[in-house]
Amino acid sequence: MLDGKKTLFSGMQATGNLTLGNYLGALKNWVTISDEYNCFYSVVDMHSITVRQDPATLRKRARILLTLYLAAGLDPEKNCIYYQSHVSAHGELAWILNCFTYMGELNRMTQFKDKSAKHADNINAGLFTYPVLMAADILLYQADVVPVGIDQMQHLEITRDIAGRFNSIYGDVFTIPEVYLGKVGAKIMSLQDPSKKMSKSDENPNGSIYLMDDKDTIMRKCKRAVTDSVGMIRYSDDQPGVKNLIEIYRACTGKSVDEVVKEFDGKGYGDFKTAVGEVVAAVLIPLQEEQARLMADKAYIDGIIKGNAEKAGYYANKTLRKVQKKIGFPERVRQ
């Protein structure tokens, strides 16, 4: 616990283009909880290379993602916003934790099976041990809480198992992280298949609204969103497409579900889709403008990158040194 507050860790991969779902479901929520916790928000670029990346594109996307964190409202003075690859302790602790993780545990990870199916020509060891690096990410900062989606729950569970196993041998070295159970962001589904989450890896570009989409693109995607033949705007599981659009409208305006349903009572899907597009654009255009301003201020962003990497490194290395001492590595001679 730092300064009387619990510590929270989270991060996003520097691959693909962030979607409206990433913003409303996670990033926007990070801003609202940043005063409650000591927050470490990482651009997890080390995780990104389990799939082959173009180097220039990866660097560019990592910087875009970091500036989007800031543009969304995360204060770099209050929150530690940094590149995972700039803190070598992540890789060092991951190796140690590999030696406390069982093959059977990793074999049960469903995400490995899913990604292996998608990238059959590159089933590498990093893809297999990905959860161990994620455990290192979390445990380095003695995180009390971690906001995770259902698809990442397995990874938090194995993190807890690894930490508990290590602690049972060497004492209370790691904080056992809990799932963040505070306010959660909206769950946004694909515009073309509302049974699936909106995803930056969706093969159908019309299924996702990307944070950098211009207004015309946003409006077009909303107008093409799948609905149904019922013709009524109701928040019902029987109308998943309409329900998803209501969720988007609600999340962008701050209105309740009942208020949204009442507002569009008697109106058609065409009017509703147009209204959804307008409120999404009203949220994303200012975000895009602020992100562009930050990208242009190279000296400012470079200063944040350097300063926050040092801050993250300080806390991460405190944990790493403790772990190294516990397992018997020779102490480093300091001048």
Kindly list the strands in the beta sheet with 38-43, ordered across the sheet, starting from the edge strand earlier in the chain.
80-83, 38-43, 7-12, 145-146, 178-179
The mean pLDDT of the chain is: 92
Q: Which helix (H) or strand (E) holds 91?
A: helix 89-98
Residue 330, pLDDT score: 94
Does residue 189 lie in a domain region?
Answer: no
Same domain, 115 and 252: no
**Interatomic CA distance for residues 178 and 157, integer angstroms:** 9
Same domain, 26 and 151: yes
Q: Closest by alpha carbon to 159, among 93, 65, 217, 245?
A: 93
Q: CA 77: distance to chain centroid?
A: 20
Segment 315-332 mean pLDDT: 96
Percent of the chain whose predicted confidence (pLDDT) is above 70: 96
pTM as predicted: 0.91
Whether the Cβ atoms of residue 299 and residue 307 lie closer than 8 Å to each other: no
Is 326 an annotated catalytic residue? no
Same domain, 52 and 161: yes
Is 318 an annotated catalytic residue? no
Segment 159-188 mean pLDDT: 91
- Residue 210's domain spans which residues? 205-293
**Interatomic CA distance for residues 105 and 100, integer angstroms:** 11
As a residue count, the chain comes to: 335
**Interatomic CA distance for residues 42 and 116, integer angstroms:** 25
Whether the Cβ atoms of residue 191 and residue 206 lie closer than 8 Å to each other: yes
Choose the catalytic residue: 6, 200, 223, 255: 200
Does residue 200 lie in a domain region?
Answer: no
Segment 72-95 mean pLDDT: 97
pLDDT band at 127, cuts 50/70/90?
A: confident
Residue 39, pLDDT score: 97
Q: What is the pLDDT of residues 111-123, one digit of tens each?
A: 766 776 676 777 8
Residue 200, pLDDT score: 84
Q: Which helix (H) or strand (E) holds 40?
A: strand 38-43
pLDDT band at 286, cuts 50/70/90?
A: very high
**Interatomic CA distance for residues 279 and 250, integer angstroms:** 10
CATH number of the structural domain spanning residue 229: 1.10.240.10
Same domain, 85 and 151: yes
Choose the catalytic residue: 60, 183, 196, 197: 197
Choose the catalytic residue: 5, 28, 78, 115: 115
Residue 119, pLDDT score: 67
Q: Does residue 190 have a pLDDT over 90? A: yes
- Residue 328: is it exposed, middle or buried by C-beta count within 10 angstroms (0-12/13-18/19+)? exposed
**Interatomic CA distance for residues 42 and 39, integer angstroms:** 10
Same domain, 36 and 144: yes
Instruction: Please report, for residues 23, 29, 47, 183, 327, the alpha-carbon distance to residue 35 in angstroms, rounded to integers and kept in the order given.
Output: 18, 11, 27, 13, 36
Residue 184, pLDDT score: 67
Does residue 191 lie in a domain region?
Answer: no
pLDDT band at 237, cuts 50/70/90?
A: very high
Segment 65-79 mean pLDDT: 96
Is 306 an annotated catalytic residue? no
Same domain, 66 and 177: yes
Segment 293-304 mean pLDDT: 97
Q: What is the pLDDT of residues 199-218, one digit of tens each?
A: 888 889 899 999 999 999 99
- CA atoms 228, 233, 237, 242: torsion sign: positive
Same domain, 171 and 60: yes
